[in-house]
Structure 1
Amino acid sequence: MSTENSATGTGTGTAPLPPMHCLRHLEPGPPRLAALPTGTPVWLVSRHADVRQVLTDPRLGRAPLYAPDAPPLSTAPNMLDDPQSMLNIDGAEHQRLRRTVQRAFTPRAIARWKPWVASVVESLIDELIDHGSPADIVSTYTRPLPVVVISRLMALDNLDTKRLAHWSDHALSTTAYSADAIRTAMADFAAFGAEVIAERRANPGDDLVSSLLAAAAEDGSITEPQLVALVIGLVVAGHETTMTSLGNALVYLLEDGRDAWQRLASDEDSAAAATEQLLRAVPLGDARERTPGLLRRTMEDVEIGGVVIPAGSVVAADINTANQDPAVFTGDLRTELFSPLAAPLLTFGAGPHHCLGAWLARMELELGLHRLARRLPSLRMVATAESIDWRLGLLTRSPNSLQVTW
Structure 2
Amino acid sequence: MTTEQSQAPAGGPLIPLHCLRQAEPGPPRLAVLQTGTPVWVATRHADVRQVLTHPQINRASLYAEDAPPLTLIPNILDDPSALLNLDGAEHQRLRRTVQRAFTPRAIARWRPWVASAVEDLLDGLEASGSPADIVSAFTRPLPVAVISRLMRLEGLDLERLGHWSDHALSATAYTAEEIQQAMLEFGTFAYELVCERRKNPGDDLVSSLILACDETDGVTELQLTTLVLGLVVAGHETTMTTLGNALVYLLDEAPEAWARIGADEASAQHATEQALRRIPLGDASTAPGMLRRAVADVEIGGVTIPAGSIIAADAAAANQDPGVYPPGIDLFAPLETPGLAFGAGPHHCLGAWLARMELELGLHALARRFPGLQLTDSVEAISWRTGLLTRSPLTLRVAW
Q: TM-score, normalised by structure 1?
A: 0.94
Q: How does 1:29-108 map to 2 (within 5 A)?
A: 29-105=26-102
Find the counterpart in structure 2 of residue 312 from structure 1: 308
Which of 320, 323, 337 is 1:324 aligned to? 320
Q: 1:389 to 1:396 in 2, by over 3 A?
A: same
Following the alignment from structure 1 to structure 2, what is the Cα–Cα distance between the partners of residues 321 and 357?
22
Following the alignment from structure 2 to structure 1, what is the Cα–Cα distance between the partners of residues 328 and 180?
41
Specify the code of the residue in structure 1 equivalent to 2:333.
Answer: S
Following the alignment from structure 1 to structure 2, what is the Cα–Cα distance between the partners of residues 256 and 164?
32
> Could you report, residue by residue, the CA deviation over 1:207-257 in whole angstroms, capped at 9, with x for unpaired residues?
111111111111131122211210110000001111111100101111111
Q: Does 1:21 align with 2:18?
A: yes
Q: How does 1:5-404 map to 2 (within 5 A)?
A: 15-105=12-102, 109-288=106-285, 290-333=286-329, 336-404=330-398
Following the alignment from structure 1 to structure 2, what is the Cα–Cα distance between the partners of residues 23 and 291?
15
Instruction: Give the secondary structure class of the aligned counterpart of 2:195.
Output: helix
> Could you report, residue by residue, the CA deviation over 1:343-394 in whole angstroms, capped at 9, with x for unpaired residues?
1110000001000110111011011001100101111111111100101111
Following the alignment from structure 2 to structure 1, what is the Cα–Cα distance between the partners of residues 117 and 304?
50
Alpha-carbon offset, residue 18 of structure 1? 2.7
Specify the code of the residue in structure 2 equivalent to 1:59.
Answer: Q
Specify the code of the residue in structure 2 equivalent to 1:370.
Answer: H
Following the alignment from structure 2 to structure 1, what is the Cα–Cα distance between the partners of residues 104 and 202?
22
> Could you report, residue by residue, the CA deviation over 1:122-148 in whole angstroms, capped at 9, with x for unpaired residues?
111001001111111011100111111
Alpha-carbon offset, residue 24 of structure 1? 4.3
Q: Contact 2:16 / 2:248 at 8 angstroms: preserved in 1?
A: no
Larger CA deviation: 200-209 vs 143-152: 200-209
Following the alignment from structure 1 to structure 2, what is the Cα–Cα distance between the partners of residues 59 and 226?
25
Following the alignment from structure 1 to structure 2, what is the Cα–Cα distance between the partners of residues 249 and 332?
17
Q: 1:30 to 1:106 in 2, by over 3 A?
A: farther
Following the alignment from structure 1 to structure 2, what is the Cα–Cα distance between the partners of residues 150 and 103?
18
Name the count of aligned residue pairs: 390
Following the alignment from structure 2 to structure 1, what is the Cα–Cα distance between the partners of residues 123 and 305?
54
Alpha-carbon offset, residue 100 of structure 1? 2.0
Q: Contact 1:28 / 1:322 at 8 angstroms: preserved in 2?
A: yes
Alpha-carbon offset, residue 113 of structure 1? 1.8
> Could you report, residue by residue, the CA deviation over 1:89-116 in whole angstroms, capped at 9, with x for unpaired residues?
0011111111222134355532332222
Q: 1:24 to 1:178 in 2, by over 3 A?
A: farther
Consecutive unaligned residues of structure 1, counting only runs of 5 or more, are 1-13
Q: 1:105 to 1:216 in 2, by over 3 A?
A: closer
Specify the code of the residue in structure 1 equivalent to 2:337.
Answer: A
Alpha-carbon offset, residue 268 of structure 1? 0.2
Consecutive unaligned residues of structure 2, counting only runs of 5 or more, are 1-10
CA RMSD in angstroms comes to 1.3
Percent sequence identity over matched residues?
67
Larger CA deviation: 276-285 vs 101-110: 101-110
Find the counterpart in structure 2 of residue 3 from structure 1: none
